[in-house]
Amino acid sequence: MSTHFFSSLVRWLVLATVLGLVGCASGPNAVARDPLEPLNRSIYGFNEALDSSVIRPVARTYQEVTPSPIRTGIGNFFANLADVWSTLNNALQLKPAQTLETGARVVVNSVVGILGVFDVATSLKLERHPEDFGQTLGYWGVPSGPYVVLPLLGPSTLRDGASLPVDTKGNLVRHLARAADEAADAFVRRLSAELLEVVKNDRSLKTGDVQRIAAVVDARVMPHLNFRRMTASAVGPAWRQATPEQQARLQDEFKALLVRTYAGALGQVKDQTIQVKPLRAAADETEVLVRSEIRGGPEPIQLDYRLEKTPGQGWGWKIYNLNVMGVWLVDTYRTQFGQEINARGLDGLIASLSDRNKPGTRP
């Protein structure tokens, strides 16, 4: 398989995961250099260590001691508070329809749903239109600035980071409560809808603001992928012979490759929609297949997800492979990675991925 053919195939697969894109990713200059890369890598390492040593144990304890109905109510309460902030930001972005609908959600859930503990608005088909103050600043022309990784909060941009004191960036308790009890097909449906909403309503994404695109991808897509499992599967049997340092490098470079590929795709989302098919799995299954179709082009596009439940970690479902029209993404990477390993070894594969992730090269 030629490198050009492989790159085109992978780009097609990833574009489809961003809801039905049928073109190519952005050109060679799609992703600019990260001027704060050394600092960002250090903070990323700190966040990863904190996540494994503090946040996940706290999340596990929260799930174990808090009954499911209470977690759901807590999640709904904080979601209602987030809707209040989204209503204001929709208004500041001059979006009257979204302002009225999100505002109606707040009124219904606050009054009928007892301060938002019960999500009555969703059953009434009132949709949520999430917006934050960083998006509002972008609407009025404030540039995103460089990509930054914030302590505890993760990926962002300078503009979004500066808006944090007056922004609601989402609540950990709300996220944990929802993720712990969400069905796999509901998770895919929600993630797709949230990503579409952000992409369609953020002007900086439409204009190709690469720093903002990278931040959106890293913050909204990457946390829902099981990178270790995906990387191990893509590398194949050689993964077991890799040293811990090599495994860490492979994960880091593979993630960077996926972020860059997604970043080239997000700016091209237009009017695509996704229809998630009913889940055929037992309630207690921890690995499932969710099937869906992307619509908005000449023909529907098959898009299937393989997901695993992460019990005790508090992060709900994670994607570890996806299938576009019969082709599995990780399996496609495994073919090329295997050729690289056979020719140059694991260090050669790491070097090759590092070269592909340099600014000015195609992913």
pLDDT of 114 reads 93
**CATH code 3.10.450.710 for 3-356:** yes
Q: Is 90 exceeded by the pLDDT of residue 193?
A: no
Q: What integer best gives the mean pLDDT of the chain? A: 75
**Residue in the structure block whose two tokens are 């090269």:** 361
283-305 pLDDT, tens digit per residue, is 678 889 998 887 776 777 788 88
* In the chain, where the domains are located: 3-356
pLDDT digits (tens, 9 = 90+) for 316-342: 788 888 887 788 888 888 998 999 999
pLDDT tens string 245-272: 899 889 888 887 777 666 655 555 566 6
Residue 359 predicted with pLDDT over 60:
yes
Give the tokens for residue 256.
């960077």
Report whether pLDDT(108) > 90: yes
The angle subtended at Cα 92 by Cα 268 and Cα 110, nearest 5°, is 105
> What confidence score (pLDDT) does residue 261 get?
67
Q: How far apart are CA 180 and CA 245, in angstroms?
A: 32
- In the predicted model, is pLDDT for residue 194 greater than 90? no
Structure tokens at 133: 């103050």
Task: Name residues whose C-beta falls within 8 Å of residue 159's C-beta, 6 or more positions apart in sequence.
Answer: 134, 137, 138, 142, 143, 144, 145, 212
**Residue 153 in this model has a pLDDT that exceeds 60:** yes
Contact residues for 126 (Cβ-Cβ < 8 A; gap 6+): 101, 104, 105, 108
